[in-house]
Amino acid sequence: MPRPDDRTNDQLRKISFHPNVAPNATGSTLVCFGDTRVICSATIEDGVPGWMRYQKVSGGWLTAEYSMLPYSTHDRKSRDISRGKLDGRSSEIQRLIGRSMRAVVDLQKIGQRTLWIDCDVLQADGGTRTASITGACVAVAIAFNRLMAEGKIKEFPLKKLVAAVSAGVYQDTPVLDLNYLEDKAATVDFNIVMTESLEYVEVQGAGEEAVFTKAQMDAMLELSTKGISEIFSMQKMAILSADKAEPVDFASLVGAFGKPKH
């Protein structure tokens, strides 16, 4: 059975990066995986958390926050602040983003500074956590390039790129980069985070009231490795182009995005 958007089983959705979307951040990008759109920003501030100062821990700190804007889903999603607490899903995802970035950032090289990563979902069509990690890496690289250019740091703190993608079993077939319709119907759902050396940072996978075989798991990991390898090339182009890119004009992006499919 064909996929809802007629992609092949090993084909990514159309991915794009739009740097400098948040001019007040040290680095930022709007990342699009198909109809999933996330603004990722990296803000670097002087100072570290009090516990680091108290324990005399050297280097800097990195933390991440993730949120879905109320209009990002089909039915309005209440803001966490209106409920008085962060929901479990958002908390788990922002921890994943933080772990993924700490795996590739040398915090000693940023000095006594805090790197804040913010991922805000404008539109959700599956894979918001993987898009957030992928876009966060680009935003962080742009931020570090800016600090290097300003002479605030002497060595580039990003050891290697990191990216993420989803895979799953849809209609009894392993497929790459699930959109919402596929994710909703998938019997198995995986999220894979890897460095550009093709080392695993994290693998999240589970059957949705179903089981899966080793052959299916191996197929999903192979699909993810192929997809993430392609994403690294796009990330590098986005990072290199950021210095020349003007701040994003949202009006011009409306036509480029087109009408959402779902």
39 in Cβ contact with 24 (< 8 Å)? no
Per the structure, the count of domains in the chain is 1
**Is residue 262 predicted with pLDDT exceeding 50?**
no
Percent of the chain exceeding pLDDT 90 equals 80
CATH label of the domain that carries residue 126: 3.30.230.70
Question: CA-to-CA distance for 243 and 20, rounded, in angstroms?
Answer: 9
Q: Quick one: average pLDDT of 214-240?
A: 97
14 vs 81, residue with greater confidence? 14
Q: Across residues 198-210, what is the average pLDDT?
A: 95
* 262 lies in some domain: no
195 vs 226: CA distance, rounded Å = 13
pLDDT at residue 250, rounded to an integer: 54
pLDDT of residue 133: 98
Separation CA 33–CA 223 (nearest Å): 16
* Widest CA span in the chain: 59
Residue 173: inside a domain, yes or no? yes
Domain membership flag for residue 258: no
Q: Tokens at residue 246, please? A: 């003007």
Q: Domain containing 223: what range? A: 15-76+89-247
Could you read off the pLDDT of 136-186 as tens digits, one per residue?
999 999 999 999 999 999 999 999 999 999 999 999 999 999 999 999 999
Query: For residue range 177-189, what is the model confidence (pLDDT) as tens digits?
Result: 999 999 999 999 9
Tell whether 9 is covered by a domain. no
For residues 205 and 209, give the distance between their C-alpha atoms in angstroms, rounded to a whole number. Answer: 13
User: Does residue 256 lie in a domain region?
Assistant: no
Does any domain span residue 188? yes
Over range 200-222, report the average pLDDT: 96
Q: Tell me, yes or no, whether 257 lies in a domain.
A: no
Residue 220 lies inside a defined structural domain of this protein: yes
**Whole-model pTM?**
0.90
| Cα-based angle 32, 168, 204 (whole degrees, multiple of 5) | 85
pLDDT in tens, 110-121: 999 999 999 999
